[in-house]
Amino acid sequence: MNKPIRIALLGLGTVGGGVYKLLSMRAQEMPQIAGAPIEISHILVRNANKERPGVDAALLTDNWQDIVSDPEVSIVVELMGGMEPAHTYISEALAAGKNVVTANKDLMAVHGGELLDLAEQHHCDLQFEAAVAGAIPIIRPLKQCLAGNEISEIMGIVNGTTNYILTRMTQDGMEFDDALAMATELGYAEADPTADIEGYDAGRKMAIMASIAFHSRVTFEQVYTEGITNIHATDIRYAKEMGKAIKLLGVACNTPEGIEVRVHPMLIPDSHPLATVNDAFNAVFVHGDALDDAMFMGRGAGEMPTASAVTGDIIDTARNLLMGCTGRIGCTCYKELPVKAIDDIKSKYFIRLRVEDRPGVLAGVSGVLGNNGVSISQVIQKASKGGSSDLVVITDTVRERHIRDALTILRSMSMVRDIASVIRVY
């Protein structure tokens, strides 16, 4: 039998705990699964003296030097999250010739290129399947199974918290605040939910996937993000009337003018496979020139689903170690494509206005849209209380800057009491 492969876990929170548990569950079979036993030799924690039931206390350390200077450690598994000290530790591990597995999307979405270069210099693996969409295999499929494709589009529901909130708003008619409170109570939302509800978390995942799919580095700062805090139950009801669902979608397209990459709420037809992805589930939809359409669905977060992805990477790295081929697949960004500004992107829009309830209003609104080159594809007008109507318009495809100009004029008109919502339409 091959001698054990020694790994160090950095962090023992939800994900770290899950990986510890899963490796223990599979320990007996690991020689057959990975080719050698996989032994955790260190666990880096902030407080090595805190009691942790079920965890071998002898493995705990609060000293990174114990790990990086131990020549027996061949895989460092970073599960602390955030930028520092994760960035430093991963860089030092790679520089010391250690392979790295990480679930850190924040870090990979900003410093992915630099870290992958460092891994390549030292012939090390840097694997990060768990950084995008939890348990769903997507990094490896994009880098390997679909490598023969020119991928033109990726669309994803890649944040479980917001998908849970929108599902409650859709299925139970809840308003955003109540659905968020429920998500928090059930542990789907963190104490500070900003990164989720503002679309930053999804934006990081889209940066990582766009980089791989289009072979060109995209960083988080280049992703346009818009969250779901302005979505109302009313919008969802009108969308439903029009045969559509509202989802927080990440969209990445490779166009002849450059890469589009953005996260925002979007109306999609009820018949689209992503429309049926509910609750905390994630899904990634991919279009490639040979592949045509494919979709990958599963759990995007949580202790054991994330541990599934991390453990898959550990096993793959172990196999590479045993075959002497670590660094087998490094950075796949060999192009330098421009990223388009959001103003240059074209979309259809759902616009919900509260207007005066009198004749001529529809003509006035549609006139302003028409003058700005925005044509209308669908309209619903409904009287509501207090002498005002709801006017809901879905436009044809229009450039982002034109819709903004039209909205500015509409906002100044006396017949328009309020522009309640502006949401993109697939």
What's the token pair of residue 41?
């030799």
Per residue in 9-47, is it b (16+ CB within 10 Å) or e — as a string? bbbbebbbbbbbebbeeeeeebeeebbbbbebbbbbbee
Considering the complex, state which of residue 29 and residue 51 has its C-beta at the smaller distance from its own copies: 29
Considering the complex, state which of residue 287 and residue 340 has its C-beta at the smaller distance from its own copies: 287
Q: Where are the alpha helices (DSSP H) in 133-229?
A: 139-140, 160-172, 176-185, 194-197, 200-214
Considering the complex, state which of residue 141 and residue 258 has its C-beta at the smaller distance from its own copies: 141
What's the token pair of residue 98?
């250690």
Q: How many helices (H) and strands (E) are present in the chain, helices listed first?
A: 14, 17
Which one-letter amino acid corresponds to residue 323? M
Q: Does 1 bind its own copies (CB under 8 A)?
A: no
Considering the complex, state which of residue 231 and residue 314 has its C-beta at the smaller distance from its own copies: 314
Within 45-119, strands assigned E span 60-61, 73-78, 99-102
Q: Does 307 bind its own copies (CB under 8 A)?
A: yes
For residues 116-175, which are near its own copies according to CB under 8 A?
Answer: 129, 135-137, 140-141, 144-150
Element (H, E) at 409: helix 400-412
What's the min distance (Å) between Cβ of 261 and its own copies? 21
- x/- letters, 329..358, toward its own copies (CB under 8 A): x--x-x------------------------
What's the min distance (Å) between Cβ of 130 and its own copies? 10
Q: Does 246 bind its own copies (CB under 8 A)?
A: no
The residue assigned the tokens 């925005």 is 374
According to CB under 8 A, which one of 124, 316, 340, 406 is a site residue for its own copies? 316
Q: Does 298 bind its own copies (CB under 8 A)?
A: yes
What's the token pair of residue 250?
């990440």
Q: Does 186 bind its own copies (CB under 8 A)?
A: no
The C-alpha angle 335, 338, 342, rounded to 5 degrees, equals 145
Cite the annotated binding site for NADPH by residue number: 105
Q: In angstroms, rounded to a whole number, what is the distance separating the alpha carbons of residues 218 and 193?
A: 24
Considering the complex, state which of residue 85 and residue 141 has its C-beta at the smaller distance from its own copies: 141
Burial class (CB in 10 A: 0-12, 13-18, 19+), 142: buried
382 is an active site residue: no
Catalytic option among 205, 247, 340, 348: 205
- Residue 263 in contact with residue 223, Cβ under 8 Å? yes
According to CB under 8 A, which one of 8, 9, 15, 34 is a site residue for its own copies? 34
What's the min distance (Å) between Cβ of 32 and its own copies? 4
Considering the complex, state which of residue 276 and residue 397 has its C-beta at the smaller distance from its own copies: 276
Give, in order, the Cα–Cα distances in Å from 192 to each of 183, 188, 393: 12, 12, 34
Q: Does 319 bind its own copies (CB under 8 A)?
A: yes
Q: In angstroms, rounded to a whole number, what is the distance separating the alpha carbons of residues 356 and 14?
A: 52
Of the candidates 323, 324, 310, the one whose C-alpha atom is nearest the C-alpha of residue 9 is: 310
For residues 59-78, which are near its own copies according to CB under 8 A?
Answer: none
Active site residues: 205
Q: Which residues bind its own copies (CB under 8 A)?
A: 18, 22-23, 25-26, 29, 32-34, 129, 135-137, 140-141, 144-150, 215, 273, 276, 288-299, 302, 304-305, 307-312, 314-316, 319-320, 323-325, 328-329, 332, 334
